[in-house]
Amino acid sequence: MSEATIDTHDLGEKIVKVLKTIFDPEIPVDIYELGLIYDVFVNEDQEVKILMTLTTPNCPVAETLPVEVEEKVKSINEVKDAEVEITFDPPWTQELMSEEAKLELGFL
C-alpha cells in the first residue's frame, strides 16, 4: 500500500465515531444506533456520501439534521467533501435500531 493510498476502512470508522455524536433531538440515542444511517460510501478521492433517513418524513429536524451530519463529517481531516442524501425507501422502523438503542429506550 503506497503512502498516497487512503485506508477507507479507518476513515469509515472515524466517520461512524462522528455519526455517534449526533443525536435525534426527540430520542436520547445517536443517529447511528437508531439505524438512521443506511450507508456510508467513501471513494478514493476521500469524498463521502451518506445515505440516511429520518424517523418520519415530517421530522422536525428534516432541515437541520442532514446539514449537521454533513458538517461534522466534513470536519474530519481526511474527508475532502461530504454529501448527505435523504431517503425514505425503505422507511425507518424501530427494527432498524441497534440492540443498544432498543435497550436504552426500553424496547427490550
CATH number of the domain that residue 33 is part of: 3.30.300.130
Per the CB < 8 A criterion, the answer to whether 79 and 49 are in contact is no
Q: What integer is the mean pLDDT of 54-58?
A: 88
Strand residue runs (E) in 1-108? 37-42, 47-52, 81-86
Flag whether 104 is in a domain. Answer: no
Number of structural domains found in the chain? 1
To which residue does cell 474530519 refer? 76
Q: For residues 99 and 29, what is the distance between their CA atoms, to the nearest angstrom?
A: 12
Angle at 78 between CA 68 and CA 83, to 5 degrees: 40
Flag whether 97 is in a domain. Answer: no
pTM, 2 dp:
0.89
Flag whether 67 is in a domain. Answer: yes
Residue of 38 and 6 predicted with greater confidence: 38
Flag whether 107 is in a domain. Answer: no
Flag whether 108 is in a domain. Answer: no
Q: How many CB atoms lie within 10 A of CB 43?
A: 12
5: pLDDT strictly greater than 70: no
- 75 vs 18, 60, 71, 86, 98, CA distance in Å? 9, 24, 6, 20, 26
Structural domain including 37 reads 8-90
Q: What integer is the mean pLDDT of 1-20?
A: 78
Flag whether 73 is in a domain. Answer: yes
